[in-house]
Amino acid sequence: MTAGTDNKQDKETSMEHTAEAVAPAPLARSAPSAASACWRRLMVCVVEVPAALIVLAEILLLGGGAFARYALHQPVPWTDELAGILFLWLAMLGAIIALDRGSHMQLTTFIKNLPPARRAWVDALGMWLVVAFLSLLLRPAWEHLAEHLEVSTPTLEISEGYRAAAVLAGVVLMLVAATLRLLSAHWKPVAATGLMVALCGGLLWLLSPALMTLGNVNLVIFFLLMLVACVAIGVPIAFAFGLATLCYLSLSTATPLSIIPNRMQEGMSHLILLAVPLFVFLGALIEMTGLARAMIHFLVSLIGHLRGGLQYVLLGAMYIVSGISGAKAADMAAVAPSLFPEMKRRGAKDGDLIGLLSASGAMSETIPPSIVLITVGSVTGVSITSLFIGGLMPAAVGLVMMSLVVWFQTRKEDMSRVPRPSRSAIVKALLVALPALALPVIIRTAVVEGVATATEVSTIGIFYAVVAGVLVYRQFDWRRIYPMLLGTAALSGAILLIVGCATAMAWALTQSGFAQDLVEILSAVPGGKTGFLLVSALAFVMLGSLLEGIPAIVLFGPLLFPIAKLVGVHEVHYAMVVIFAMGLGLFAPPFGVGFYAACAIGRVSPDVAMPKVWPHMAALLVALVLLTLVPWFSTGFL
């Protein structure tokens, strides 16, 4: 196993490649202008530094609140309220950073291979659509702020305007960031696509009286044709959701548009979602402090000498590490660079390694404390504790199925030159790894035993990781803290803006009567609850590949979970089926973005890896069928 500086550099390089794989390609830019330089200074002072400070403040607020309540038995009533206000500001500031960095979630499958000249036109068109959405949202955001200025918060007794102002500030600054990206690009595609967007917008406005008479046909126009077209050309998913919703409400209904920022704020204000940035930061900490490396070293010493031993180590490490970070790319980057070099020396093929890495990412989506589990609990009302308890066994089923594939592929591996570690070496590795291995146990036990909520427990993990890194592993680079805080804010903002826009879209779909129609259709699926589960699993495999996990869960979770309860499916069982199915779609080629992230981390061409990934995906498909047909795997320990 590679250690020390080389390993650290490998991981940082892998993460850089991952960012290239999953982030949108930037518009072709001209020379930096004075406006760009001014914007950069404004970003640092007004956006980046406050975002980093808010992440730190949230850690202290929630950690201090949990300590006061559990250890001192003196709860501080205002901590949650203040944390909620700061959280909305963090979400909007993070979304600004993500837009400025070009790291909002998007689908690039259909545009990634376009020639550079044509790609510049598509990127310009996508950015104009972002500008159009933000411009149209300005007035509703202002009206939303005005409505809340006279309302006071219940505990702090300050104006709700402090919370609502975050939405308006975020819209304004994102509009500036998007406009500057357009101004810094080549003028010809920008001018032509801008004119195209203006003409199409004007035409839709002229057709508005006719659209209002079409009824639910507008759902097809705006939520199928427009939304799919926007996603296909690479418009970030959050903005595609928001633009489709805004156009639908403004052009085909009489609904006041201030409902959009109101629903966005409501979607992003669930305090349980505050776990998203905190677990993202915790994931970065366990990599930086050496906890992840200690876990892997112990697993290698334990079973690395067996046939397929390192493959089993990779699966075991992903099972342990996954769920702590907010991004599967971070999970994979914490594990793969330490194992791939030795696995290749033992004769493993590049394609097989990427197939295993991709499938392990899909397998681990249900492992607590998963961001997807937290999101499901937030948008559907399912108990987070029940989801955390129910999530371990489904991942274990996937682990067993994938282990069978590894056994078959490595049954003839030559291990004669691989030394077997002594018992004392294994014990020493275990003692070194114990503080690291204790972290997932502490996190999950604290939630299950009621010591802390799913939001607060992340702060326990953060304080534990800091202490372990400084005192035990003596590996703590203070210079990396600020970039980690900014990365946390950007990733959290990208996730939470999707949650906000998807919440507004789900509300619009519900008000249109679509939810009732969906209930009638799915309730009539042949096969009762088994048929409903199979249809749901297939649907979320497709949704996971096209929309990624969180957008699919936020958009369709509130619609489908009540139907599942209506047909007699246990809510935790249903959650595990759809999350596992979504993970399978997220990491399955040719559309799943997780597959390309794994290729970037492993530095393997997708063309080489794609033919080798299918045995692992087939194993996960078998696991998904078992989870669907056997509820005990999800509910047996509740």
* Range scoring the smallest mean pLDDT among 94-98, 168-172, 412-416: 412-416
- Domain identity same for 200 and 322: no
CA 362/CA 388 separation, integer angstroms: 17
User: SS3 string of 208-260?
Assistant: HHHHCCCCCHHHHHHHHHHHHHHHHCCCCHHHHHHHHHHHHHHHHCCCCCCHH
What does the pLDDT look like over 10-25, one tens digit per residue? 434 333 333 333 444 4
Q: What is the pLDDT of residue 593?
A: 67
- The model's confidence at residue 9, banded by pLDDT at 50, 70 and 90, is very low
What does the pLDDT look like over 434-472, one tens digit per residue? 988 888 888 878 777 777 776 777 888 889 989 998 888
Q: What is the pLDDT of residue 176?
A: 92
Q: Tokens 């919370």 sit at which residue?
A: 163
- Domain identity same for 327 and 463: yes
**Which residue, among 86, 97, 265, has the nearest Cα to 173 in the 3D structure?**
97
CA 401/CA 363 separation, integer angstroms: 10
Using CA atoms in the order 234, 236, 238, 244, what is the torsion angle rounded to 10 degrees? -40
What does the pLDDT look like over 171-215, one tens digit per residue? 999 999 999 888 888 889 999 999 999 999 999 999 999 998 888
Residues of the chain with pLDDT > 90, as a percent, come to 27
Count Cβ atoms below 10 Å from residue 357 Cβ, excluding itself.
Answer: 30
Q: Is residue 72 situated within a structural domain?
A: no
DSSP string for 463-493: HHHHHIIIIIS----GGGHHHHHHHHHHHHH
- Domain identity same for 348 and 310: yes
**Which residue, among 565, 482, 492, 481, has the nearest Cα to 522 in the 3D structure?**
565
Q: Is residue 264 situated within a structural domain?
A: yes
CA 180/CA 196 separation, integer angstroms: 19
Q: Is residue 231 situated within a structural domain?
A: yes
Q: Is residue 173 situated within a structural domain?
A: yes
The secondary structure of residue 635, as a DSSP letter, is H
- Domain identity same for 322 and 375: yes
- Domain identity same for 337 and 255: no
- Domain identity same for 287 and 232: no
Structural domain for 164, as ranges: 77-269
CA 376/CA 473 separation, integer angstroms: 35
CA 135/CA 172 separation, integer angstroms: 8
CA 155/CA 357 separation, integer angstroms: 47
pLDDT at residue 220 greater than cutoff 70: yes
Q: Is residue 55 situated within a structural domain?
A: no
CA 363/CA 622 separation, integer angstroms: 12
Count Cβ atoms below 10 Å from residue 206 Cβ, excluding itself.
Answer: 9
What does the pLDDT look like over 567-599, one tens digit per residue? 889 999 999 999 999 888 888 877 676 787 777
- Domain identity same for 354 and 385: yes
CA 308/CA 170 separation, integer angstroms: 50
Q: What is the pLDDT of residue 328?
A: 65
Q: What is the pLDDT of residue 245?
A: 93
CB 318 within 8 A of CB 363: yes
CA 305/CA 325 separation, integer angstroms: 29
Q: Is residue 504 situated within a structural domain?
A: yes
**Which residue, among 339, 322, 469, has the nearest Cα to 7 in the 3D structure?**
339
Of 250, 269, 288, the position where a domain reaches its end is 269
- Domain identity same for 262 and 278: no
Phi, psi dihedrals of residue 240, rounded to the nearest 5°: -65, -45
- Domain identity same for 441 and 511: yes
- Domain identity same for 206 and 126: yes
DSSP string for 559-626: HHHHHHHHTT--HHHHHHHHHHHHHHHHTSTTT-HHHHHHHHHHT--HHHHHHHHHHHHHHHHHHHHH
**127 against 44, higher pLDDT:** 127
- Domain identity same for 432 and 555: yes
Q: Is residue 5 situated within a structural domain?
A: no
- The model's confidence at residue 33, banded by pLDDT at 50, 70 and 90, is low
Provide the number of structural domains found in the chain.
2
- Domain identity same for 419 and 555: yes
Q: Is residue 288 situated within a structural domain?
A: yes
CA 463/CA 565 separation, integer angstroms: 39
Q: What is the pLDDT of residue 546?
A: 66
What does the pLDDT look like over 225-275, one tens digit per residue? 998 899 889 898 889 989 999 999 999 988 899 899 999 998 888 777 787
pLDDT at residue 2 greater than cutoff 50: no
Task: Outline where 4-160 has alpha helix (H).
Answer: 4-22, 34-42, 49-70, 79-101, 116-148
Of 210, 238, 269, the position where a domain reaches its end is 269
Of 269, 302, 317, the position where a domain reaches its end is 269
**125 against 368, higher pLDDT:** 125
